[in-house]
Amino acid sequence: MTDTTTSDAVRPGGGGSATRRVAKHALLIVCGVVMIYPLLWMLSSSFKPTEVIFRDPSLWPGEFDLTNYTEGWTALGKPFQHYLWNSAVVAIASIVGNLLSCSLAAYAFARLEFRGRRILFAAMLATLMLPIHVLIVPQYVLFSQLDWINTTLPLIVPKFLATDAFFIFLMVQFIRGLPRELDEAARLDGCGHLGIYWRIIMPLSVPALATSALFTFIWTWNDFFSQLIFLTNPDLYTVPVALRSFIDGQGESAWGQLFAMSVVGLAPIFGFFLAGQRYLTQGLATTGLK
């Protein structure tokens, strides 16, 4: 009697499919290790003396020394918390500005009918292709005439003017997915556009708003170029600009302290990302940006 039962292992194509899955996972693991290695090396180096960092490439320090953290915290003349606070003020104000202005612009593009709407929307999307290096010169001239240089206003005020086209596009895509019947029902109850925007659209747009807030925080916290251009007073330095102060042009850089404070500066980003990860996934999945 012949056994007609065929296992998955000997089924045609079964073994090859399993092998391909294993190979894909192995490749992903290797790529993940390669990408995370610089971060792990920086974390490990933050516990090593500066003279040992580039002589010992291992990821596990011989001994855990917190000297880089204690000395780096006060190495720039002010406690490093001063620069963390400066970055937090700019980042939080930017989040508030982006969420308010970009959501209003997105509601207008997604729900209102007005002449030139498609042309304006296309022009707004075209601004995504403009690099910051093209915009920084006219912005500097404008802010200089307003006497805003060496203040945080150039970093915050534009966020209240819906200048980030990416977030407008993301919110437009999300709002377009909301049923218009909700607007009509609210209009029957006497709501105008502002009422519909605030009472209907905003509560339902929490995933898109959280995604915008997360990206705004990360991009603003990590922004070095704009903050270096507009902030020249050391008292106003944010974390990226303050970290640059650890690097000496004469070659006497405090690498250990730099790595230690870099780890401290990355902690808020990881915390904010972990807190909003669920909304980030939901927001991207529901706006077509998969």
Going residue by residue through the chain (290 aa), what tens digit of pLDDT does each one get?
445 444 444 455 555 688 888 999 999 999 988 888 888 889 998 898 888 888 877 788 777 788 899 999 999 889 999 999 999 999 999 999 999 999 999 999 999 999 999 999 999 999 999 888 889 999 999 999 999 999 999 999 999 999 999 999 999 999 998 999 999 999 998 889 999 999 999 999 998 999 999 999 999 999 999 999 999 899 999 999 999 988 875 456 788 899 999 999 999 998 888 887 777 666 666 554 43
Supply φ then ψ for residue 11, to 5 degrees.
-65, 140
Report the distance separating Cα 272 and Cα 94, nearest Å.
15
CA distances from 183 to 99, 175, 176 (A): 21, 11, 12
CA distances from 245 to 66, 76, 219, 241 (A): 20, 8, 20, 7
